[in-house]
Amino acid sequence: MTDDIAQHYRQIITALGENPDREGLRDTPKRAAKAMQFLNAGYQQSLEEIINGAVFESQTDEMVLVKNIELYSMCEHHLLPFIGKCHIAYLPDGKVLGLSKFARIVDMYARRMQIQENLTREIADAVQQVTGAKGVAVVVEARHLCMMMRGVEKQNSSMTSSVMLGGFRDNQATRQEFLTLIN
Ligand SMILES: Nc1nc2c(ncn2[C@@H]2O[C@H](COP(=O)(O)OP(=O)(O)OP(=O)(O)O)[C@@H](O)[C@H]2O)c(=O)[nH]1
Ligand SMILES: [Zn+2]
């Protein structure tokens, strides 16, 4: 598969007017193929595999918040990166999730071809599914290189997307507490 992708990169380099056989570019198709495979590795993962049973019984019913999870994804329109951070909160209902698993969930969905809104929704649905929480809130703040390096070339705009489920959707005080904590 890597060789296959590398062959296509070689053609792209040629089509762009470069010489894929010159010294500096000789290994580039293969490197680029490996990088692209890494950035799309989320297709090879499943929720079950990354959670690996790390859901623990707990009687806490207070909000749990994991803030500022770094996020690197690729926009499905241009295959250019969007980069930012993700905040996840949930209201446990007898079960809590291993802390590292929030970052693993973010990475699994981010390492696919995405738009930010769908990524946000997929993270929220996954946390809901594995914890059975009374509520889940996810906010993603990101800057899109497709808007910065090309296209409208706006360097300072960022996009915020959010998904609120259960108690975060129904209860304004809970939602407000979450928004206050992340700002
Ligand atoms: N809602 C949303 N839009 C995105 C995201 N990533 C990229 N886009 C937008 O997708 C749109 C694609 O628009 P098109 O007109 O088909 O493509 P384009 O001609 O390359 O668009 P420009 O970027 O405006 O030059 C653009 O408005 C992008 O800014 C995302 O995560 N969410
Ligand atoms: Zn884009």
**Listed residues: CB within 5 A of ion ligand 2:** 75, 77-78, 146
CB contact burial 54-65 (16+ within 10 A = b; e otherwise):
eeeeeeeeebbe
CA–CA distance, 114 with 147 (Å, rounded to integer): 15
Nearest CA to ligand 1 atom 20: 151
From ligand 2's centre to the CA of 170, what distance in Å?
Answer: 33
Domains parsed from the chain with CATH numbers: 2-39 (no CATH), 54-182 (3.30.1130.10)
Output the tens digit of pLDDT for each of the chain's 183 residues.
Answer: 999 999 999 999 999 999 999 999 999 999 999 999 999 999 999 999 999 999 999 999 899 999 999 999 999 999 999 999 999 999 999 999 999 999 999 999 999 999 999 999 999 999 999 999 999 999 999 999 999 999 999 998 999 999 999 999 999 999 999 999 999
Residue 146 annotated among the catalytic residues of the structure: yes
Residues 6+ apart with CB under 8 A from 84: 71, 140, 141, 142, 143, 158
Token digits for 11? 């053609």
The interface predicted TM-score of the complex, written ipTM, equals: 0.84
CA distances from 48 to 5, 52, 83, 138 (A): 28, 6, 26, 20
Mutate-to-test residue for ligand 1 from 72, 73, 77, highest number of ligand atoms within 8 A of CB: 77
- Find the helix packing angle between 100-110 and 116-131, rounded to 10°: 140
Mutate-to-test residue for ligand 1 from 146, 149, 150, 162, highest number of ligand atoms within 8 A of CB: 146
